[in-house]
Structure 1
Amino acid sequence: MEIITSTFFSSQFLIAAIFTIFSLLLAVRTARSTKSTKQSDGATSATSATARKKSCNCTCSCNGPAAASAAEREMLEVGRHAATAAAAVVAERGSGASMMEQLVPEITTHALSYLDYPSLCRLSMTNSLMRKAANDDNAWKALYHKDFTLEQDSVIPVNGWKAYYAATRAVVNVNAEFFNIIRERSLPAMSRFWLNADYVKCIHASGELFSGYNSVIQSWQIAFNWEQGVDFQVQDVRARVLTDIAWVTMKTYIDIDTGPFNMTNVFEFHNGRWYMVHHHSSVMLVDGEVEQQVVHG
């Protein structure tokens, strides 16, 4: 009986001790939580006080830019323009568009038609957008008509108007070289200028026909030995270019009393360059001279 009683009291004491320890732990935890809450409330109050103090000490510009100084207004204006420019850049980049892309194609073509050949080529090397605009077929067609002739408006070049313009420009330059050779009276240059073939022909202003390469070069040797240097004034140049053949018609004026000439030059493309294969020069008759020729006839 004593053993049972002792065991019972020991159990009760153990339970009471455990409960007491648990209560103490709970009390300590509650105390710490209360302290933290007070510190937090104190910090919040201090922060609010500081904020109120700062709020009271700040300067308010409620009246807007009108109440600011001249320097501040200038800074505001600069900032406004910068923001506007930045917004425009962002909008342009976001949409992938540009001023050139937003123009009507006809307006773009008309604007580019005021450029010359070198300027249009340089423009095409700036960026991809300018290259697209500068390679537009209508722009090169307009440039061709401005630099050369309107007679070929209905022509549809196989490789586009840019390639056709480049080929025409090359032929016109070769044709101009022909007159430089005559001015310099250079027989070696004239020999290289003609295609070495038996079907080439040359008809001088005298009306005499020379056929074959050797005969043609001999005719120019005689002309250079007999004639003095002349200064041709070439006008009304018209060129027509096909794949490997081209012909140029023009009017030429010289500083002697023989009257103006009608000329036709024919070229063939061989081994990467143009060679002359036919030259025809004849005196251009005016109305009075035509009537005189009829009477004499």
Structure 2
Amino acid sequence: MEVSNFSASYLSHRLSRIPLFYQGSKADIRNGCIQAVNCLPSDSRQQCTRNFPGLTEKRPIYFPTPKVPKQNILSSHSYLPSPCRAKSEDTEEKLSGESILLNEQSMEEELQLAIQEENYPQAAKIRDNLRLLQHDIKASVLAANARFYNSFRTGDLAALQNLWSKGEHACAVHPGVSGICGYDLVMGSWEYVWADYEFPLEIEIKDVAVHARGDIGYVTCIEMVKTRHGGWGKQFATNVFEKVDGHWYMCIHHASYIDL
């Protein structure tokens, strides 16, 4: 999905993160009124029509919007990982998704160095420790979550593309609008949103909880994002991951505004 298919337009502050899509069009949202602008390729229109059935391009659509002060609305959607709390039914332990990710990367570098130096006993030890870390389901989900947030903080679209599941079940629900389904449409929506942002951005993540079983895991958190005007926006996010061929990929991201 090329960024040209999501050409920039004015969006109201209440829906500053993403436009509404339906019937192969981008909805230009101003004061709660949707005006359609054709921008999606023909092969994407069927999906958009399913997302927003019964809507027509010839009449504006009005819908309720959250009562959020303008100065508190997010003008961006990038994240800086912070210490998080992993929860389970029996135990509760503090983990850091960022520290897990850095530890994994450091161990991989040490493993390669040990192999290059032909220090095979040390390489075997590092390999075993790395496998233990990667086999810890909650730690792996937190690491994937940290990669997701790092891609937002830096605006790294290529990293984001590699993090998402490549199927039609991929779904992103941006604040204030309905869900966008299918890998291509989801990636196109992020590319469109990021086109107007300046990176990196200052983000705080609080109240992080991770839950995982088998090949499915999810993370919930509160996101505090500093806007261009110096204020802070607040969102509650749910990030769902699935394990495919030994790697964790995001399949659902759902974020919604909450009052500060």
Higher helix proportion (structure 1 or 2): 1
What TM-score does the superposition give when structure 2 sets the normalisation length? 0.47
What TM-score does the superposition give when structure 1 sets the normalisation length? 0.42
Structure showing greater radius of gyration is 1
Higher strand proportion (structure 1 or 2): 2
Greater relative contact order structure (CA < 8 Å, 6+ sep): 2
